[in-house]
A and B are shown apart, each in its own frame.
Chain A
């Protein structure tokens, strides 16, 4: 199975900050990488697929990058509605696997 490791596991930031979350795959996954946002008590929401393509309707302050084993999700200017937990997920091979999540909290 491909292991997905996210860092950090949590971070505190202020509105307007630039935030970057990283995700590392235990083996190469090309660009078969998605990012999801999850708020407490809610289902995940798709943000990015194919490592860097924004899902329709996702604000342009979100961006994804990387290929192979190292990936990143960047929020260029953190907004109040962005405080949530973010997960990466590989879909290069089965079983699909998710990172452990990064909780973005208000400083």
Chain B
């Protein structure tokens, strides 16, 4: 079945970087885009950016423009989200989500905790 499986929880110190992966299965990876959305504790969902898996084009939220990089490896059907210069308020669950023309499938989420 179609699924997105994300990497496990991470604990990082302020100022560090984190990479979260999202492995797709059950569909042709390059026919869909992948978005990254985060949810801080008790907060609404917040869009970070997306990648066109067919050609690698990306678009980022201005909120994260200087700190986020989204890449993909088509041979591994995997997308990656790198977030740098971590702060305590980056503590959140990070989700990848598939989009054809709308978001339909979500990964299970990856908890990233930023703490000294």
Contact = CB atoms under 8 A, between A and B. Distances in A.
Interface in A89-107: 89, 91, 94-101
B107 A43 contact: yes
B35 A96 contact: yes
Nearest to A87: B45
A43 B103 contact: no
Interface string B32-49: 000101000000111100
The 5 A-B pairs with the shortest beta carbon distances in the complex, nearest first, are A49-B102, A43-B106, A96-B47, A98-B45, A95-B61
B62 interface: yes
Nearest to A91: B102
Interface residues of A, number: 21
Interface in B88-116: 95, 97, 99, 101-109
Contact of B102 (A34, A44, A99, A100): A34
A19 interface: no
Interface of B: 35, 37, 44-47, 59, 61-63, 95, 97, 99, 101-109
A43 B47 CA distance: 14
Given A94-B59, A95-B61, A96-B35, A46 B44 contact: no
Interface in A51-107: 55, 87, 89, 91, 94-101
Contacts of A36: 45, 103
B105 A87 contact: no
Contacts of B35: 96
Nearest to B47: A96
A100 B39 CA distance: 11
A99 B44 contact: yes
A94 B104 CA distance: 17
Given A43-B95, A43-B109, A97 B102 contact: no
A46 B97 CA distance: 10
Nearest to B93: A43
A45 B105 CA distance: 7
